[in-house]
Amino acid sequence: MDLGLKGKVAVVAASSKGLARAVAEEFSREGARVVMCSRDEASIKGAADGIQKKTGGEIAWTVADVGTAQGCDRLLKTALDRFGTIDILVSNAGGPPPGRFDDLDDAAWQKAVDITLFSAVRLTRLALPHMRKAGSGSIVYMTSTTVRQPTQYLNLILSNAIRAAVQGMAKTLSSDLAKDGVRVNCVQPGRIFTERIQQLDNDTARRQDTTPDAIRAHYEKNVIPLGRYGKPEEFAAAVVFLASPKASYITGTSLQVDGGMLMSMF
């Protein structure tokens, strides 16, 4: 299926590894021009070069920490300097560290707010003028299934609390921006096998005095109906479709990519 992305400019934040890297690669496969960033120069250059070699696409990258205003500015400026516009924004940032409520002080909470919430706020604020000028655009926020069922992960209170704020912002914006031709959606990963999930499994195993393999086996046998962790490319395919013109009548939605893990109807 041609998703209608050829020549579109897709900005994918914090995309040197994991889910966002897979999203950047999928956009490039579909013919979009992709803009990537990371805090680490070697990592983002390696990721961008790797995607360019695989897809032959046009890739721009920069070193930027989207947990800061300066980093958000740098990412969007890179897109505009290289390609002149922004058609798609995929808002993403590294997940806050695991921890229970009693483990976390004000500094930990503030850092998580800056990384998870304010990255989404600032990137959206910077991208919107260009989308409004064009009369079209698509914003996708990468959140988590925990915004629907936060009690699955009691050691992820930072992520659970703050990603819910992003989700609320997205739903409000989807209605507000529809008149401007800008669609706003969220994609919620479940247990997709990345370094982040490995980190969380390691933390859970430590707290439960067991092994990461045992934690994974529990989820695959007892929690995920499809019986396995997801692949980054499976998540990426959902994001890219939702961002594409083929999803032109979809806005304000939240798409689970979790192998059926969540049991809620909505």
Tokens at residue 18, please?
Answer: 């994991």
Dist CA 23 CA 91 (whole Å): 11
203 pLDDT band (50/70/90 cuts)? confident
pLDDT in tens, 143-181: 999 899 887 777 889 999 999 999 999 999 999 999 999
Tokens at residue 133, please?
Answer: 């000028």
pLDDT in tens, 23-37: 999 999 999 999 999
pLDDT in tens, 32-68: 999 999 999 999 999 999 999 999 999 999 999 999 9
Domain ranges of the chain: 9-192+230-257
CATH class of 9-192+230-257: alpha beta
pLDDT in tens, 12-23: 999 999 999 999
Which pLDDT belongs to residue 72? 98
Instruction: Single out the residue of 171, 142, 153 nearest to residue 239, CA to CA.
Output: 142
Which pLDDT belongs to residue 94? 85
Query: Can you give the pTM of this predicted structure?
Result: 0.95
Which pLDDT belongs to residue 88? 98
Which pLDDT belongs to residue 24? 98
pLDDT in tens, 79-113: 999 999 999 999 999 888 889 999 999 999 999 99
2 pLDDT band (50/70/90 cuts)? very high
DSSP string, 106-153: HHHHHHHIIIIIIHHHHHHHHHHHHHHHHT-EEEEEE--GGGT-GGG-
- The yes-or-no verdict on residue 138 having pLDDT over 80 is yes
Which residues, including other chains, have CB under 8 Å from residue 98's CB and lie 6 or more apart? 153, 155, 156, 199, 200, 203
Least confident of 36-50, 108-122, 186-200, 225-239: 186-200
Which pLDDT belongs to residue 4? 97
Q: Give the 3-state secondary structure percentages of the chain, helix then strand then coil, rounded to 5.
A: 55, 15, 30
